[in-house]
Amino acid sequence: MARVTIIDVAKRAGVSVASASRALNGLVASAETVQKVRAAAAELGYAADATARSLKLGRTQQLAYAVADIGNPVYVEMMGAIERVVAASDYRLVISSTGDADATVELVRSLGRGFVDGMVLSPLRVTDELVAAIADSPVPVVVLGRMPDDAAADTVRADSARGMELVVDHLVREGRRRLAFINGPVDTTPGRFRRDGFRKAVSSDPSVSSVEVVVDDFTIAEGYRAAIRLLEGSAGDLDALVAANDLIGIGALHAADDLGLRVPEDIAVTGVDDTELAQVSRPGLTSVDLGAAERGRVAAELLLARLAEPDRPAHTVTVAPALRVRGSSIARAVPHPATSAAPEEASA
């Protein structure tokens, strides 16, 4: 007989997995939700894995950092920040590339084997199964990204939707009115929120027209192919390519060059993440700085705080974006110090 999971309990109670987790773990939840969840758990015979949770009593002095693509420069920047915090606390950092959503869930479930004391996880896709695995984990997991608002997990977020608004506002100020947005998969967290931010920004100005293209992955090759299609089909109709990340943006720069278009005179190009690639490209790629290093640092500190105080309230920290203007969007890049508020911290 298959083991009853928290997903089964949530379905029987008619609530989200995150709400079921909060109710079962004594965190903030309405009396009605607690009653329904506990009744469902009793009816199904659900019990948390006490053997796995007992592993909390031991210590490996190892922490894990898990991402979908360890080759992406933004994840490398996060890793460096996490490593500095971890090393200063006498822990070792173990790196793992998670791959797809199922592999990410299996990795979190494997934490019961006791190979690390905690994990910083940066998932591309957040599913009910992942939320449940994190809720059931015998060691703390801090998420770099978005979780359901009622999930009982420490979370560090980037405001990428606001970042896209900064990009569009900048391009409009520079006289760009015909924008194409090259996005990665929209079932991912960055794909969804960056799309929403772009749409909100262009819809606020009736003088701006836009088109959206979705590619299979956030890579240079995908950005190149999408930009070639766009520019060959409507070179005279577009004056800016807005890429969902720097890798797509670099691909778009290469495509414009291969087609003999001048950047930014004929077409502007922008990216997101403000990686080293954006800084060293020619021309330099205008990009949204989502505070990768800061997010990594905060996530590592939240994980250490959770290890020291397991029963502390869950925290969500949002790191504000800033626009870094370079030659790809303005003929002569000028200092553009974007002011951003200090990270907002609130109980989740």
- HEC secondary structure over 290-330: CCHHHHHHHHHHHHHHHHHCCCCCCEEEEECCEEECCCCCC
Residues paired with 181 in a beta bridge: 212, 242
Confidence of residue 343 (pLDDT cuts 50, 70, 90): very low
| 288 Cα distance to chain centroid | 14
| pTM of the full structure | 0.79
| CA separation, residue 328 to residues 134, 271, 275, 283 (Å) | 41, 10, 15, 5
Mean predicted lDDT score pLDDT of the chain: 87
Tens digits of residue pLDDT in 65-104: 999 888 889 999 999 999 999 999 889 999 988 878 899 9
What does the alpha-carbon distance between residue 316 and residue 266 come to, in Å, rounded to a whole number?
42
- Domains within the chain, CATH numbers bracketed: 6-44 (no CATH), 58-158+293-312 (3.40.50.2300), 160-289+323-338 (3.40.50.2300)
**DSSP type of residue 4:** P
Confidence of residue 160 (pLDDT cuts 50, 70, 90): very high
What does the alpha-carbon distance between residue 263 and residue 273 come to, in Å, rounded to a whole number?
20
What does the alpha-carbon distance between residue 161 and residue 196 come to, in Å, rounded to a whole number?
6
In this prediction, residues 10-23 reach a mean pLDDT of 80
In this prediction, residues 32-40 reach a mean pLDDT of 86
- Contact indicator for 211, 240 with CB cutoff of 8 Å: no
Helix (H/G/I), strand (E/B), else coil: 157: strand
In this prediction, residues 121-144 reach a mean pLDDT of 93
Residues paired with 270 in a beta bridge: 242, 286
What does the alpha-carbon distance between residue 109 and residue 52 come to, in Å, rounded to a whole number?
10
pLDDT at 112: 83
pLDDT at 28: 58
In this prediction, residues 20-29 reach a mean pLDDT of 68
Residue 1 has pLDDT above 70, yes or no: no
Give the residue carrying structure tokens 């290890």.
307
Residues paired with 108 in a beta bridge: none
Helix (H) or strand (E) holding 140: none
The CA-based angle 192-327-283, given to 5 degrees, is 90
In this prediction, residues 225-238 reach a mean pLDDT of 86
Residue 206 has pLDDT above 50, yes or no: yes
